């Protein structure tokens, strides 16, 4: 008896075994969900194929660059043909051009702003709109945010602006989809050492800062993000929508 028995889900944002999407997908699968996966491009295909082979050889795996309407359409067309319905969607995707995460927010170019907001914020709306017609039995849409959406985190820059737009999108999507029993929530995660975090200068210091300052005096573990992702997807969260849930060892409550 799994919490997600009979549920069908699709996961956007697995790059490798350290991806937050992978931790949440594993928690969903362990509780009985049937999952399909997408990957950003050919560069990641092999990696992701190897990971998802753990879920059986008939696991649906499709390319999807979330800036491409044609690829989004193809993913949901395939899901409709294979399963006919959908209950769960995980959006764990973000990107800003590297140079926008260095230096001043003030210097963000129009193009870097466009790319960051397109990939990291608009994509949730595009995916939710494509998923909604398949979520005929209700559903749960989940995305990943970060504290830089609400407070200044040096160098997070345009990603902070994109996460603010993402969190506002969660609320508007929750309102639009509520009548069809589709819930939309975000997990605001503390820092995790993933591909997207590696190479960010000062990331190791950030991990140490959370360890020193958060009420729980440690960093969040991927499996803890998996556990919260599972809760939000389950009937235990049936009355929770439009929310940003902090999974950050309490860091967000601190004033100093
Ligand atoms: P990750 O690199 O494993 O995942 C990021 C994913 O985004 C990758 O799978 C990448 O392929 C995908 N992606 C980027 N551009 C894309 C595009 N155009 N089309 C499709 N996919 C695209 O890193 P992660 O840390 O697991 O990041 C997942 C989410 O978690 C992101 O939204 C990130 O902002 C958020 N987050 C991360 C942390 C952290 O410290 N790692 C903290 C809070 C929130
Ligand atoms: O959302 C993120 C990072 C997302 C991200 C990472 C990269 C690195 C490679 C988006 N775009 C890019 N572009 C690249 O070229 N996090 C929450 C992790 C993160 O990133 C930071 C952080 C934290 C935390 C950047 C600066 C300061 C703090």
65 lines ligand 1 (CB under 6 A): yes
CA distance 227 to 91: 16
At residue 197, the pLDDT reads 92
Q: 18, 111, 158, 159: which to mutate for ligand 2, most atoms within 8 A of CB?
A: 159
Q: Is residue 16 part of a domain?
A: yes
Q: How many domains does the chain have?
A: 1
The long-range contacts involving 80-83, CB below 8 angstroms and separated by at least 24 positions, are: 80/134, 82/36, 83/8, 83/34, 83/36, 83/134
Considering the domain boundaries, does residue 13 fall inside one? Answer: yes
Is 2 domain-assigned? Answer: no
Mean pLDDT calculated for residue range 16-23:
98
- C-alpha 145 to ligand 1 mean position (Å): 10
To test ligand 1's pocket by mutation, which of 12, 25, 93 has the most ligand atoms within 8 angstroms of CB? 93
Does the pLDDT value for residue 1 go beyond 90? no
Residue 1 lies in a domain: no
Number of Cβ within a 10 Å radius of residue 56: 9
CA atoms of 113 and 193, how far apart (whole Å): 25
Domain assignment present for 208: yes
Query: Domain for residue 3, yes or no?
Result: no
Residue 220, pLDDT score: 98
- Atom of ligand 2 lying closest to residue 120 CA: 10
CA-15 nearest atom, ligand 1: 9
pTM recorded for the entire structure: 0.99
**Does residue 15 line the site of ligand 1, with CB under 6 A?**
yes
56 band by pLDDT with thresholds 50, 70 and 90: confident
Can you give the pLDDT at residue 201?
A: 87
- Residues 187 and 56: their CA atoms lie apart, in Å, by 28
Extract the tokens encoding 124: 């949730």
146 counts as catalytic: yes
- State yes or no: is 246 an active-site residue: no
* CATH number for the domain harbouring residue 136: 3.40.50.720
pLDDT digits (tens, 9 = 90+) for 208-241: 999 999 999 999 999 999 999 999 999 999 999 9
Does 199 have pLDDT greater than 90? Answer: no
The residue segments making up the domain with residue 205 are 8-248
């Amino acid at each position: 008896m799994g919490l997600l028995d009979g549920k069908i889900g699709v996961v956007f944002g697995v790059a490798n075994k350290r991806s937050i999407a992978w931790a949440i997908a594993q928690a969903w699968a362990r509780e009985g969900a049937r999952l399909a996966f997408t990957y950003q491009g050919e560069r990641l295909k092999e990696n992701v194929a190897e990971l998802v082979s753990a879920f059986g050889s008939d696991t649906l795996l499709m390319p999807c660059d979330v800036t491409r309407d044609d690829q989004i359409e193809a993913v949901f067309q395939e899901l409709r043909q294979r399963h006919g319905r959908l209950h769960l969607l995980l959006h764990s995707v973000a990107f800003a051009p590297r140079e926008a995460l260095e230096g001043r927010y003030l210097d963000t170019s129009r193009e870097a702003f466009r790319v960051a907001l397109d990939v990291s914020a608009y994509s949730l709306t595009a995916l939710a709109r494509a998923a909604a017609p398949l979520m005929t039995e209700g559903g749960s849409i989940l995305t990943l945010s970060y504290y830089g959406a609400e407070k200044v985190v040096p160098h997070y820059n345009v990603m902070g602006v994109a996460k603010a737009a993402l969190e506002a999108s969660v609320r508007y999507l929750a309102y639009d989809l509520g009548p069809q029993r589709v819930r939309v929530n975000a997990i605001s995660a503390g820092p995790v050492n993933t591909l997207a975090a590696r190479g960010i200068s000062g990331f190791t210091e950030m991990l140490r800062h959370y360890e020193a300052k958060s009420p729980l005096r440690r960093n969040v573990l991927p499996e803890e993000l998996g556990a919260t992702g599972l809760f939000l997807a389950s009937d235990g969260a049936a009355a929770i929508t439009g929310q940003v849930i902090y999974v950050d060892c309490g860091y967000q409550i601190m004033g100093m």
